[in-house]
């Protein structure tokens, strides 16, 4: 048995202990874990320095920055654990109740999933965030950090274990896979009966590998080719404001807009204003301008790069926006359903019929009317936290908070009932 | 493009039409489909006779009976469609609502999944049941019947299409895969983006094949190695009644008990009474007696067949019961969590602490106290119908009714909101 498989057996065995914790015990553990993170800041930063040093030789500056920890970032990890204490427990809720005429009582009760495995990449804060969400939802987590962040993750998990120990809780509630190779990832993907949910958090390659190889239940997260459709009746000034926010407020995240579809009747008025805001004004302000990749109809109205077909199927995560002029709302809906990753899409319109058609027919987790796609986030949606953003339809769609990390069971009480 | 893949594209394209039906339109279609089934009874029975004739050469009498239709069975299929009309629509429900301080309104709304593919075996009634459940939940179904029932399924789908046509609805709402080979099943399992949910209904081999090969979202259903644990404080007379019901009322179904665990302190009193009820009394009544497969401790108390290890991991679906004597409730829970298919398990006890421990720690879809496992069923649980019984934890657990055939989307309405 490999070490990873052994770890999964240990994790599975710890599930009853995790499920038995009261909300108060969970919160005490979260607070102790936060204190331990703060206490071990120096050790965590020292481990992180090793990761960063090694990464500088192989990765670009953006990736190195994702990996980098400092005192503020450790403090914000600790504060994140404490913030979870304020949220109600997702466990034990009676989701449905039915008493039959014969007196048999049936209750559908929210319970933990069991072992939740998370495969992620280089952001070290995912280690503590995911561990805390799993704990608060009564689950045992098995974390597989990206190789380049492994020293940081190990130091963070050491601190979390110290916090658990301070509350008399076993380290098996939070597990970090030590093997940083693909073999360990494959073990997680195929550990039927030992992994109750696998969540890949990262780029398309990782998610694709999980979808193709996983035999355990798996939730696809986080890829966002988000669209904004400016309808014929859109308010041009408001549209420019929303498009600018959706594209430029944080281009590297999954809820940023990648594609702008414009109704042909409003294109002559809207596109020059979009170009003014995303290009000229940003250059004047000393900001990175947005590269506009234009279809032929858009290119006839404003300057920009000619768009290739791939530009309408690419998650740029960068200062790039693909722009296409469309015939009407139906054409916009058809384009989105064919090209979207089913994350977040918006219609900008003053026509309530078109708004209703769009929200009904666009097959995505979050569909907006006259608002920026950037709101798709567990915190912004009022869930208090999030484990990721599901782009699939089964079990969880959109931001996954604590409730999405639970399942349910039916508990049926009789007094000798037979069928 | 294969015919099956072409059919999936047609099905996907029909999703907006399926989702747009009102509850009244759905019910009108269900009634028209029921009428068409009745009207086409002769054609359906003629097609079924071909299937039955061919099957007699290859299959045993139990399988042939599963395949056989008669007027009563067609009538009961039609009545099943009409019964669905009485159920409320699972669509459009607002599952959660949140208005932010800035006025942005977020609603979480139940919507159809899209294309639901069902791979099943030889029971022809599954064809109409599954099609009707999919329709009422706003989905488009793609049905793959077992080869041995294909002529029956085709005749049934012809009738259902006649019913749809009578309401002016397109046949693409209900699709039957014509290719009866494994290649078509593989197409369904790997049609990413075209199949929103795959439900295999059938034996362990089919379910295993789906879990191993599917890259589309898949729900495992229907395998039941169900356990009954008779605790030390069980009422012997009530226990015998429940065990007899769980084992013998319908041994071929997934919620029948396959394993009896008995607390060692009650074994000397209970086991002889169980043997009396399951063996002697049934022989006296001219019924098939239950074969008891006993571990060593049970064999020391009553007569029976010595149990092999495999007997505690087998879904017999027959008049066979594996019996093991255990130390206490903890040993029973450990045995169940190690050997169960996580379907349905029962504790028979007068000790409320043990009942609570059992319902909390047994990791199965339905956990019973002093009642027969035979109640795990959508109809019995008050769901009104069922597509199958999920033995997994993601999305749906236990009986899957209409609500379990939906997903949700977030619809967010603003007035120029940016983040």
Confidence of residue B149 (pLDDT cuts 50, 70, 90): very high
Task: Write out chain A residues lying below 8 Å of B364, CB-based.
Answer: 409
Residues of chain A numbered 13-42 and touching chain B (CB < 8 Å)? 15-16, 19-20
Rg over alpha carbons for chain A, rounded to the nearest Å, is 24
Query: Which chain B residue has its CA at the smallest distance from A368's CA?
Result: B412
Instruction: Band the pLDDT of B82: cuts 50, 70, 90.
Output: very high
The contacts of residue B255 (CB under 8 Å, 6+ apart) are B224, B226, B343, B344, B373, B374, B375, B376, B377, B389
State how far the Cα of B156 lies from the Cα of B176, in Å rounded to an integer.
10
**In the predicted structure, residue A122 carries a pLDDT above the cut 90:** no
Residue B104 has its nearest CB partner, among A235, A241, A371, at A371
Handedness of CA A262, A266, A272, A278 (dihedral sign): negative
* Residue B387 in tokens: 């597509």
Identify the helix (H) or strand (E) that includes residue B369: strand B366-371
pLDDT confidence band for A351 (50 / 70 / 90): very high
Would you say residue A3 has pLDDT above 90? Answer: yes
Give the pair of three-digit tokens for residue A64: 């190195």
Mean pLDDT (whole number) for B70-98:
95
CA separation, residue A99 to residues A103, A324, A411, B379, B382 (Å): 6, 56, 12, 13, 9
A192, A244, A409 member nearest B364 (Cβ): A409
Residue whose entry in the numeric block shows the structure tokens 């034996």: B203
| B400 interfaces chain A, CB cutoff of 8 Å | no
pLDDT, tens digit, for every residue of B114-147?
A: 999 999 988 899 999 999 999 999 999 999 999 9
Cβ distance A249 to B419 less than 8 Å, yes or no, reads yes
Query: Which of B221, B355, B375 has the most A C-beta neighbours within 10 Å, making it the best mutation to test the interface with A?
Result: B375
Q: For residue A61, what is the DSSP state?
A: H
Q: What is the spatial distance between Cα A4 and Cα A13, in angstroms, rounded to a whole number?
A: 14
pLDDT digit string, tens, across residues A29-84 = 999 999 999 999 999 999 999 999 999 988 888 788 889 999 999 999 999 999 99
**Among chain B residues, CA nearest to A418:** B372
What is the reported pLDDT for A205?
85
Q: What is the mean pLDDT of residues B195-204?
A: 90
As a residue count, chain A comes to: 419
Averaged pLDDT, B199-203: 87
> Are the folds of A3-219+400-413 and A226-375 the same?
no
CATH superfamily of B226-375: Aldehyde Dehydrogenase; Chain A, domain 2 (3.40.309.10)
Note the pLDDT tens digit of each residue in B324-345. Answer: 999 999 999 999 999 999 999 9
Nearest to A241 among B244, B245, B416 (CB): B416
Q: What is the pLDDT of residue B61?
A: 82
Per-residue pLDDT, B382: 87
ipTM of this complex: 0.94
Residue B141 to chain A, least CA–CA distance (Å): 16
What CA–CA distance (Å, rounded) separates A225 from A15?
A: 37
Task: Give residue-wise pLDDT tens across range B5-28.
Answer: 999 999 999 999 999 999 999 999
Handedness of CA B162, B168, B173, B179 (dihedral sign): positive
A196 and chain B: CB distance < 8 Å anywhere? yes
Average pLDDT over residues B273-302: 98
pLDDT value at residue B98: 94
Mean pLDDT, residues B215-224 taken together = 88
Chains A and B form CB pairs within 8 A to the count of 196
pLDDT tens string A275-287: 999 999 999 999 9
DSSP line for B136-172: HTT-EEEEE--GGGHHHHHHHHHHHHHHHHHTT--GG
B335: contact with A, CB 8 A cutoff: no
Q: What pLDDT is attached to residue B281?
A: 98
What does the pLDDT read at residue A11?
A: 98
Q: Do A207 and A198 touch, CB atoms closer than 8 A?
A: no
CA distance, residue B263 to nearest chain A CA (Å): 18
Q: Output the pLDDT for position A66.
A: 85
Smallest CA–CA separation between A380 and chain B, in Å?
A: 8
Give residues 338 to 377 of B whose Cβ lies within 8 Å of A: 355, 359-361, 363-372, 374-376
How many angstroms separate the CA atoms of B136 and A295, rounded?
41
Query: What CA–CA distance (Å, rounded) separates B258 from B317?
Result: 8
Tokens of B398: 């236990």
pLDDT of the residue at B220: 86
Report CB contact under 8 Å: B365, A410: yes
Q: Is the pLDDT of residue A334 over 80?
A: yes
Q: What pLDDT band is residue A252 in, cutting at 50, 70 and 90?
A: confident
Q: B100 pairs with which residues across the strands?
A: none
pTM of the model: 0.93
Is any Cβ of chain A less than 8 angstroms from the Cβ of B334?
no
Q: What integer pLDDT is reported at residue B222 of this predicted model?
A: 77
Tell me if chain A has a CB within 8 Å of the CB of B186.
no
pLDDT in tens, A397-409: 999 999 999 999 9
Report pLDDT for A61: 82
**Beta carbons of B393 and A113 less than 8 Å apart:** yes
Encode pLDDT of A362-375 as tens digits. 999 999 999 999 99
Residue B211 confidence (pLDDT): 83
A window 78-137, beta carbon within 8 A of B: 98, 100, 104, 106, 113-114
CATH superfamily of A3-219+400-413: Aldehyde Dehydrogenase; Chain A, domain 1 (3.40.605.10)
Ordered DSSP codes for B66-135: HH---HHHHHHHHHHHHHHHTSPP-SS-EEEEEE-TTS-EEEEEEEE-SEEEEE--S-THHHHHHHHHHH
Instruction: Judge whether residue A1 has pLDDT over 90.
Output: no
Domain boundaries of chain B, sorted by first residue:
3-219+400-413, 226-375
The answer to whether A384 and A378 are in contact (CB under 8 A) is yes
Rounded to whole angstroms, the maximal C-alpha distance in chain A is 79
Give the model's pLDDT for residue B277.
98
Residue A152 has pLDDT above 80, yes or no: yes
Q: Tell me, what's the pLDDT at B391?
A: 92
Please check whether residue A235 is in contact with residue A348, taking contact to mean a CB–CB distance below 8 angstroms.
yes
What's the pLDDT band for B208 if we cut at 50, 70, 90? confident
């Amino acid at each position: 048995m490999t070490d990873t498989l052994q770890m999964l057996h240990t994790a599975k065995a710890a599930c009853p202990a995790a499920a038995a914790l009261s909300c108060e015990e969970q919160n005490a553990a979260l607070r102790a874990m936060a204190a331990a993170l703060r206490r071990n800041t120096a050790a965590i930063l020292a481990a992180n320095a090793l990761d960063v040093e090694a990464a500088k030789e192989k990765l670009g500056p953006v990736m190195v920055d994702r990996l980098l920890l400092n005192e503020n970032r450790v403090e914000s990890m600790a504060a994140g654990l404490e913030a979870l204490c304020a949220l109600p427990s997702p466990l034990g809720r009676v989701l449905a109740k039915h008493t039959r005429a014969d007196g048999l009582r049936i209750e559908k009760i929210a319970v933990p999933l069991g072992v939740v495995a998370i495969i992620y990449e280089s952001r070290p804060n995912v280690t503590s965030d995911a561990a805390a969400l799993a704990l608060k939802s009564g689950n045992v987590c098995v974390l597989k950090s990206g190789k380049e962040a492994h020293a940081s993750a190990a130091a963070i998990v050491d601190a979390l274990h110290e916090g658990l120990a301070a509350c008399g809780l076993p380290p098996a509630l939070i597990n970090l896979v030590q093997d940083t190779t693909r073999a360990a990832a494959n073990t997680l993907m195929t550990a039927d009966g030992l992994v109750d949910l696998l969540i890949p958090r990262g780029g398309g390659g990782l998610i694709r590998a999980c979808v193709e190889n996983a035999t355990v239940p798996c939730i696809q997260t986080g890829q966002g080719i988000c669209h904004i459709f400016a309808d014929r009746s859109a308010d041009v000034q408001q549209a420019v404001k929303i498009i600018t926010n959706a594209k430029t407020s944080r281009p590297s995240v999954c809820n940023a807009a990648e594609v702008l579809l414009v109704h042909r009747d409003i294109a002559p008025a809207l596109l020059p204003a979009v170009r003014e805001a995303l290009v000229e004004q940003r250059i004047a302000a000393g900001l990175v301008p947005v590269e506009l990749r234009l279809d032929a109809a858009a290119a006839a109205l404003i300057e920009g790069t000619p768009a290739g077909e791939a530009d309408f199927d690419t998650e740029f995560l960068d200062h790039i926006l693909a722009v296409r002029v469309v015939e009407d709302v139906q054409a916009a809906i058809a384009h989105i359903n064919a090209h979207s990753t089913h994350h977040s899409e918006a219609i900008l319109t003053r026509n309530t019929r078109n708004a209703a058609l769009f929200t009904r027919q666009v097959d995505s987790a979050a569909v907006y009317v006259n608002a920026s796609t950037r709101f798709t986030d567990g915190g912004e949606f009022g869930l208090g936290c999030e484990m990721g953003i599901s782009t699939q339809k089964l079990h969880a769609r959109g931001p996954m908070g604590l409730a999405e990390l639970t399942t349910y069971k039916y508990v049926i009480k009789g007094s000798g009932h037979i069928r």
